Amino acid sequence: MYPDAWKDDPIVDIEIETIDSKEKVRKFKILLAKPVEHEGYFYSHAKFKGLNFSPTPQFGENSLHALCKGISNIKSELRKYIESHKMVLKYNNEIMDLESFEKFFEIK
């Protein structure tokens, strides 16, 4: 299997909270590792620490390609999770919609 690359030096390390319809607060971290090379491809590993959920590693032909796919996958998986559990996001003590939160992950 692939190494737990996010444990050493993650590129993304964001702590957020979710609040469900019963006002239960759940804290977790989004971690995204630097892409690592494995058998000719670069893999981007992510983890939602505190939710016991890790998106499928994304691979690319180079590290930037893998990183872009990894970020896109985090946004997609987070959106599915939040919407399916009817939650809202809270970051830095402010309620945020998903579109605002996703702007943190834009690559310019």
Domain boundaries, the chain: 5-102
Q: Report pTM.
A: 0.76
* pLDDT tens digits along 1-30: 445 555 567 777 888 888 888 888 888 888
Q: Which residues of the chain have pLDDT under 50?
A: 1-2
d(CA 34, CA 1): 17
- Give the alpha-carbon dihedral of 14, 65, 43, 76, to 10 degrees: 50
Place of tokens 């998986």: 77
d(CA 17, CA 82): 11
pLDDT score recorded for residue 82: 85
pLDDT score recorded for residue 3: 53
pLDDT score recorded for residue 62: 93
